[in-house]
Amino acid sequence: MRLSTIVASVSAATLARAASWNLKDTYSGEDYMNKFDFWTDKDPTNGLVTYQSEDAAKSLNLTYVDDNKNFVMRVDTETTRTEGRPSVRIQSQSNYEDAVIVLEVSHIPTGCAVWPAFWTVTSNISQWPVGGEIDIMENVNDQYPANLAAVHIKDDCSINGSPQTGTTVFTNCNAEANDNSGCRIEMNNTDTATWGSNVNNKGGAVVAMERDFSSNGKGIRMWFWDKSQNMPSDISNPGKTVNPDNWGTPAANFGKLSCSNNADGSSQFDAHKIVFDITLCGDWAGNTYDQVSQCPAKYQSCANQVGQAGQSFEDAYWSVGNLYVYESSAKSAASNVRISSATVGIAAATTLAATMLAL
């Protein structure tokens, strides 16, 4: 009876705080090297790149912290590279489930052949698409004037969020649907620059993604502000908490998804790593290269550009400021209890059990 009283009060607190998120991790400058791992395997998307280790990336000057403390990740610009062009793909050592991720980006990679992405993906990549993938920023060959957000998962589940300022292009998030596009929302609200030189010329942007499959959660939502816009105060002046419910209409609203087995999408996502990469050509940018007429007109083919025209990749770089990760107060409360249970003993352990039940 005492246990159920605790459960009831913790549940009420969890519900009341569902919209509030507490700062868990901040990444800036060297953190992108020290707290991220550099991918050195072949590019799983078959790009014409050779991903570099941290040491190699540093010695090729593909990664560095610039004078404004931004972290830069860029593609090699040597004129000729016929064995794959050196590039960078990094992933966070930490894994995150429900969270709010906020990125300050000052330069987005642009250009023909260029396929950059900022995304989260299952920490067990060998089981993909089990565990899921959430693409927060992506484009190919600058083919789309706006940023593309997407979700790739194992099963047939549809976008069911609203409202949003962007446009739903594909609704089924199954990784094999729509020629392997999954579900996609194009952030083409005309008030906001969301891609390429439009963003870079404004000095950058801030993008935020909320993943919340808790009982009161609203699933997967994203917001995008270019630097010329007014931003919510918890975005322009980041502190210990954020409240996405105060951020206005999301640019992309996937919601909790509606799956064919009548479930929501919660079981489609496991612990995710945060990833930045820049690949060239490959499964997407290579296959659509000819659709962007100025690219073949200038370089003939995607492979020819990568092999022979290194200077065309001068603008193929990410420059990012701080990356903030917030977790829900319910989750931070549970981990705080976990710490105290070790020191305080059985009473706290009972509370921990109650908290876990409530979650």
Ligand X SMILES: *[C@@H]1O[C@H](CO)[C@@H](O)[C@H](O)[C@H]1NC(C)=O
User: Which residues lie below 8 Å from residue 113, measured CB to CB, with a gap of 6+?
Assistant: 141, 280, 281, 285, 286, 289, 295, 299, 302, 305, 306, 312, 313
Q: Which of residues 7-36 bind ligand X (CB under 6 A)?
A: none
- Shortest distance (Å) from residue 66 CB to ligand X: 7
Q: Is 291 in the site for ligand X (CB under 6 A)?
A: no
Residue 64 binds ligand X (CB under 6 A): yes
Segment lying near ligand X (by CB under 6 A), choices 90-98, 122-130, 151-159, 234-242: 122-130
Which range binds ligand X by CB under 6 A, 10-18, 22-30, 96-104, 124-132?
124-132
Q: Least distance (Å) from ligand X to the CB of residue 327?
A: 22
Task: Choose between 48 and 185: whose C-beta lies nearer to ligand X.
Answer: 185
How far apart are the C-alpha atoms of 358 and 354, rounded to whole Å?
6
Q: Which is nearer to ligand X, 190 or 343 (CB)?
A: 190
Size of the site for ligand X (CB under 6 A): 10
Tokens of 90: 């990094």
- Stretch of 3-11, 30-38, 101-109, 121-129 lying at the interface with ligand X (CB under 6 A): 121-129
Q: Which two tokens stand for residue 261?
A: 């087995």
Spatial contact of 143 and 126, defined as CB atoms under 8 Å apart: no
Residues listed for the chain? 359
Q: Which is nearer to ligand X, 144 or 289 (CB)?
A: 144
Q: Is 75 helix (H, G, I), strand (E, B) or coil?
A: coil
Amino acid making up residue 290: D
Shortest Cβ contact with ligand X: which residue? 127
Rule CB under 6 A: is residue 61 a binding residue for ligand X?
yes
CB 128, min distance to ligand X, A: 9
Site string for ligand X, 144-183 (x = CB under 6 A): -----------------------x-x--------------
Task: Rule CB under 6 A: choose which of 40, 124, 228, 249 binds ligand X.
Answer: 124
**For residues 221 and 244, is the Cβ–Cβ distance under 8 A?**
yes
Q: How near is the Cβ of 46 to ligand X at its closest, in Å?
A: 20
- Report how far residue 176's alpha carbon sits from residue 158's, in angstroms, rounded to the nearest whole number: 13
Give the Cα separation of 97 and 211 in Å (integer).
8
Q: Hey, what are 237's tokens?
A: 């002046």
End-to-end CA distance of the chain: 19
Residues marked as catalytic? 133, 138
- Helix, strand and coil content of the chain, in percent to the nearest 5, comes to 30, 30, 40
Q: Which ranges in 83-221 belong to alpha helices (H)?
A: 177-180, 196-200
Pair 88, 278: CB distance under 8 Å: yes
311 in contact with ligand X (CB under 6 A): no
Residue 327 makes contact with ligand X by CB under 6 A: no
For strands 49-51 and 85-87, give the pairing: parallel
Site for ligand X in 228-267 (CB under 6 A): none
Within positions 177 to 216, which residues make up the interface with ligand X, using CB under 6 A?
Answer: 186, 188, 190
Residue among 114 and 330 whose Cβ is closer to ligand X: 114
**Could you list the residues that contact ligand X (CB under 6 A)?**
61, 64, 124, 126-127, 167, 169, 186, 188, 190
